[in-house]
Amino acid sequence: MQETRHQFREDLKELERQVLGGLDLVISQLDRAQESVSYQDVELAALVVADDDRIDGRYLEVHQGILSLLARQAPVAGDLRIVAALLHVIRCIERMGDQCVNIAKLVPLSGYEAPKDKEILDAIERMGQLARSQVAQAKEALRTRNIQMAQDLVHQDAEINRLNRAIFKRAVEIGDDMDMREWGMFMILVARCLERIGDNTVDIAEQVVFVVTGLFRELAGASTTAETAPSS
């Protein structure tokens, strides 16, 4: 029995390593998606779309691995929280990968010689940097079970949300040129994808808190925090 539990724990650790590696895949995809937007690189954007299969494959691998693990032995207490959290986190990873693909698919649509606005491009670049930082911090918070690091993601995400609103406002005010307006609309969609990636890192942060404390806390600020005790 003890040997079986030990093997269960080892298998669970391996699944967590795969999840952490999935966050590295997201960072790589995000870097390339951001670069494809900055340099209007259609070929690089196509690589982002093609490589999404790697993240989808990781999602299926972890999901099936957890189901297989549960079929062999029922987890209890802390192990059960980790299992539940990994299922949630790998879903967030899959969604963030999809957002990178959405960004990449906008690159050829916006045109090779599209007019550009420096203020919007600078804000998009900053959003990308922040989103990348948040994914990396979410990974470290999960790896180390660091609640403070997880909670800090909420404050970082507020800046991404601010930039998203600023890009929308700038795109609306960009002028009467139709080509410029169309490009601005594409950049609104890019910003929305980056904003969603930031939101997913906050979701991961909530899972870190859940694993450590056994309580689910919606990390949306102190005034709106809700706590629910898990069932035993």
* Mean pLDDT per 10-residue segment, the chain (232 residues): 78 96 98 94 96 97 93 82 96 98 93 79 96 98 96 94 96 86 93 97 96 82 40 38
CB 223 within 8 A of CB 154: no
- Give 176-229 pLDDT, tens digit per residue: 888 888 899 999 999 999 999 999 999 999 999 999 998 877 776 433 333 444
pLDDT of residue 3: 72
pLDDT of residue 225: 37
CB 97 within 8 A of CB 134: no
CB 55 within 8 A of CB 29: yes
Choosing among 1.20.58.220, 1.20.200.10, 3.40.50.2300, 3.30.70.1140, the CATH entry for 2-228 is 1.20.58.220
Dihedral angle at the C-alpha atoms of 217, 218, 224, 227, nearest 10 degrees? -30
CB 118 within 8 A of CB 183: no
pLDDT of residue 220: 65
Distance of CA 205 to the CA centre of its chain: 11
Rounded to whole angstroms, the Cα distance separating 148 from 129 reads 21
- Residue 13 in 3-state DSSP? helix
Rounded to whole angstroms, the Cα distance separating 205 from 134 reads 10
Rounded to whole angstroms, the Cα distance separating 75 from 165 reads 43
pLDDT of residue 136: 98
